[in-house]
Amino acid sequence: MDGVDRVIVVDAANVVGSRPDGWWRDRAGAARRLLGELAGLQGRLPEGDSVVVVLEGAAKGAADGTEYEGVRVVLAEGSGDDTIVEVTAAELARTSNTGSVTVVTADRGLRSRVEPLGATTVGPTWLREQLSAP
């Protein structure tokens, strides 16, 4: 790596919703499973890199809003997309490096809001590949 801390910001609703596995019957449970998978990914990232996941609606029941096994959890007060934009802007300001933040979402509207800030975007498939990597 180039020594720059990298942050992965996860649109949990979008990622969970990308798989038709019955998540809608237990949104908090689906978010909890995702958090567990993200904790495993966090443990494989280079030191200084981090994962931030934004939970909204019923999925907020999955965590208390601080940290989940090394993954920072942000509970959206209102719109999850607005919260993701705020988190992304704050992380970009903290790292002072365009491209240091990657937002995971397939939501075109959200992508069009975070890319002008300097974030890169990837879809849920990219994250699923990272989660299943050894």
Is 20 a residue whose pLDDT tops 70? no
Q: Report residue 103's pLDDT band, with 50, 70 and 90 as the boundaries.
A: very high
User: 14 φ, ψ to 5°?
Assistant: -70, -40
**pLDDT on residue 134:** 74
Q: How far apart, in whole angstroms, are the C-alpha atoms of residue 57 and residue 71?
A: 19
Binned at pLDDT 50, 70 and 90, residue 3 comes out as low
* Percentage of residues of the chain with pLDDT beyond 90: 60
Q: Across all residues in the chain, what is the average pLDDT?
A: 88
Q: In the chain, what are the domains?
A: 7-132 (3.40.50)
Q: Which residues pair with 52 in a beta bridge?
A: 9, 72
What are the φ and ψ backbone dihedral angles of 100, each rounded to 5 degrees?
-80, -10
Task: For residue 9, give the nearest of 108, 104, 122, 132 by alpha carbon.
Answer: 104
Residue 113 has pLDDT above 50, yes or no: yes
Q: What is the DSSP string of 41-54?
A: HHHHSPTT-EEEEE
- Condensed to tens digits (0 to 9), the pLDDT of residues 36-83 reads 999 999 989 988 899 999 999 888 888 876 777 889 999 999 999 999
Cα 67 → chain centroid: 13
Nearest residue to 71 via CA among 129, 115, 32: 32
pLDDT higher for 68 or 122?
Answer: 122
**Is residue 5 very low, low, confident or very high in pLDDT (cuts 50, 70, 90)?**
confident
